[in-house]
């Protein structure tokens, strides 16, 4: 029996297990997936929890519901990958040999990397919203908060879902308006980037929205530490931003196991061929989702689109055929902007987010780089699509390769 091993049963690993389970000959292949947690979280939903839009039960389901029968499932921590030996060692010493390995162990919030962040005020007036615990604790805090300085800060690039902090400030603005305390809340977005977003046209569109909503943006601010006594963010060049409530995107890093295995860069991401999605160091290892060092967003849409490429290339490699599928870095992100509206961006390694319609050229129904109600419904409907179609590895009417059809080029 040949062995295919998938590490990580999140969005990327689950999609892959479902696709490969259908494609590989059961007589010849044994598929195993390893994850340490039994719960699958719908991570885009965390954003809605602090504002009471989603509850805990909206964002969690047992992982086991999404793995196909016939795939071996092991719930365990992973000690390390011994890539030269083609084997994985689990915590406790169990050895899993493999012929092909797919690493989909994601990226993780690391508040411990920033001095003072996970100190005495963590979950008192400092929160993250990238974990269920953080989102729930913040919801509790907001119930009785009477206003003050809200600072939403990004610690380091790259981080998971680059539009989420923007969505957070937009939703917070709408939330405080609805609570009748908008005039008592001062909202700032603090970012190490030179603008609200990285790509020029999207930055322009989003900056206009931020200005309209009276949300301040502090750019080029690279956080060194959090001062728990003064309640300030301190940058490496000794600037300070005071806050009453800090909602932060902590430093993101790949799994520690990657570092123990000697396979990662200085942030534990695996150097990966950005087109074939093969590990640069080992031909029988593919890297999927946030675990890779790809120059594109760390996002579920990227995990989804790149799964199609890994699937094809892996089957080619198994058959000894040349790998012809090439990933273009395609990402597609809804941006909630509050008051029942949203924006949508679609881009890849080469093409920045452009205006137009999506997915059907000229028809939509979604509008790219525009703030509309239909985009918001797209995001709301997506949760159902995620649980019922996407994770099961079924086809969606969206191509994995980005298309220029429906997009308008903008000059100047």
Partner 1 sequence: MAQETIAGKNVAVDQEGYLANPEEWTKEIAGEMAKDIGIELTDKHLEVIDYLREQHAQGAQLSIRKVGKSGITDIKGLYKLFPGGPLKHSSKIAGIPKPSSCV
The contact set with partner 1 (CB under 8 A) reads 156-158, 162, 192-194, 197-199, 220, 222, 224, 236-237, 266-267, 293, 295-297, 349
Nearer to partner 1, 147 or 158 (CB): 158
In sequence order, the 6+-apart residues with CB closer than 8 A to the CB of 251 are 109, 110, 111, 113, 114, 155, 156, 159
CB of 248 to partner 1, least distance (A): 17
| CB count in 10 Å sphere of residue 37 | 11
Cβ 199 to partner 1 shortest distance, Å: 7
Question: What stretch of H or E contains 324?
Answer: none
Measured from the CB atom, is 198 or 316 closer to partner 1?
198
Residue whose CB is less far from partner 1, 136 or 331: 331
Sequence-ordered strand ranges (E) for 293-375: 331-338, 341-347, 356-360, 364-368
Of 225 and 260, the one with the shorter C-beta distance to partner 1 is 225
Which 3 state secondary structure label does DSSP give 347? strand
Rg (CA), the chain: 21
CB of 104 to partner 1, least distance (A): 20
Q: Hey, how many other C-beta atoms are within 10 angstroms of the C-beta on 205?
A: 21
The total number of residues written for the chain in this structure: 412
Question: Shortest approach of partner 1 to residue 192 CB, angstroms?
Answer: 8
Q: How many CA atoms lie within 13 A of 400 on its CB side?
A: 21
| Cα–Cα distance list, 151 to 166, 240, 268 (Å) | 12, 12, 28
* C-beta closer to partner 1: residue 14 or 348: 348
CB atoms within 10 A of CB 318: 19
Give least dist CB 190 to partner 1, A: 15
Distances in whole angstroms, Cα of residue 230 to Cα of each of 69, 113, 234: 54, 20, 10
Least spacing, CB of residue 329 vs partner 1, in Å: 8
C-alpha 14/C-alpha 12 separation (Å) is 6
147: left (phi over 0), alpha (psi -120 to 50) or beta: left
| Token pair in block for residue 93 | 């010493």
Shortest distance (Å) from residue 237 CB to partner 1: 4
For partner 1, the closer CB: 145 or 347: 347
Rounded to a whole number of angstroms, the minimum distance from the CB of residue 239 to partner 1 is 10
In whole angstroms, give the CA distance from residue 289 to residue 125: 32
State which residue, 123 or 222, has the beta carbon closest to partner 1: 222
Residue 266: CB minimum distance to partner 1, A: 6
Instruction: Say if CB 203 and CB 163 are below 8 A apart.
Output: no
CB of 43 to partner 1, least distance (A): 17
Distance CA 133, CA 41 (A): 12
Three-state SS at 123? coil
Neighbours of 267 (CB within 10 A): 17
Contact 236, 125 (CB under 8 A): no
């Amino acid at each position: 029996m040949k062995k295919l091993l998938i590490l990580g049963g999140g969005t990327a690993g689950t999609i892959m297990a479902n696709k490969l389970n259908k494609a590989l000959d059961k007589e010849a292949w044994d598929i195993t997936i390893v994850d340490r947690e039994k719960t699958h979280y719908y991570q885009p939903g965390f954003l809605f929890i602090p504002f009471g839009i989603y509850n805990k039960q909206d964002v969690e389901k047992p992982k086991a519901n999404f793995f196909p029968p016939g795939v071996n499932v092991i719930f365990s921590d992973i000690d390390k990958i011994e890539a030269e030996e083609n084997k994985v060692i689990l915590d406790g010493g169990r050895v899993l040999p493999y012929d092909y390995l797919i690493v989909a162990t994601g990226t993780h919030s690391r508040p411990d990397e920033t001095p003072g962040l996970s100190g005495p005020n963590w979950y008192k007036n400092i929160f993250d919203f990238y974990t269920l615990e953080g989102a729930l604790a913040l919801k509790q805090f907001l119930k009785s908060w009477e206003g003050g300085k809200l600072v939403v800060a990004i610690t380091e690039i790259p981080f998971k879902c680059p539009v989420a902090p923007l969505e957070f400030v937009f939703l917070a603005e709408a939330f405080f308006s609805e609570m009748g305390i908008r005039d008592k809340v001062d909202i700032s977005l603090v970012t190490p980037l030179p603008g609200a977003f990285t790509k020029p046209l999207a930055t322009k569109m989003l900056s206009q929205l931020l200005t309209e909503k009276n949300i301040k943006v502090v750019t080029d601010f690279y956080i060194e530490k959090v001062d728990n006594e003064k309640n300030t963010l301190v940058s490496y060049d000794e600037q300070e931003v005071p806050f009453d409530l800090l909602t932060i995107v902590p430093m993101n890093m790949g799994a520690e196991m990657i570092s123990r295995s000697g396979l990662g860069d200085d942030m534990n991401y695996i150097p990966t061929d950005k087109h074939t999605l093969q590990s640069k160091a080992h031909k029988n290892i593919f890297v999927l989702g946030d675990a890779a060092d790809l120059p594109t967003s760390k996002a579920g849409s990227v995990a989804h689109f790149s799964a199609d490429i890994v699937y094809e290339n892996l089957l080619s490699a198994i058959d000894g055929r040349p790998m012809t599928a090439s990933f273009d870095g395609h990402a597609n992100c809804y941006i909630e902007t509050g008051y029942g509206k949203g924006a949508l961006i679609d881009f890849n390694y080469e093409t920045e987010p452009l205006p137009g319609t999506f997915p059907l050229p000229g028809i939509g129904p979604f509008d790219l780089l525009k703030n509309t109600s239909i985009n918001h419904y797209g995001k709301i409907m997506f949760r159902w699509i995620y649980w019922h179609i996407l994770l099961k590895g079924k086809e969606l009417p969206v191509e994995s390769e980005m298309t220029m059809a429906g997009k308008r080029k903008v000059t100047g």
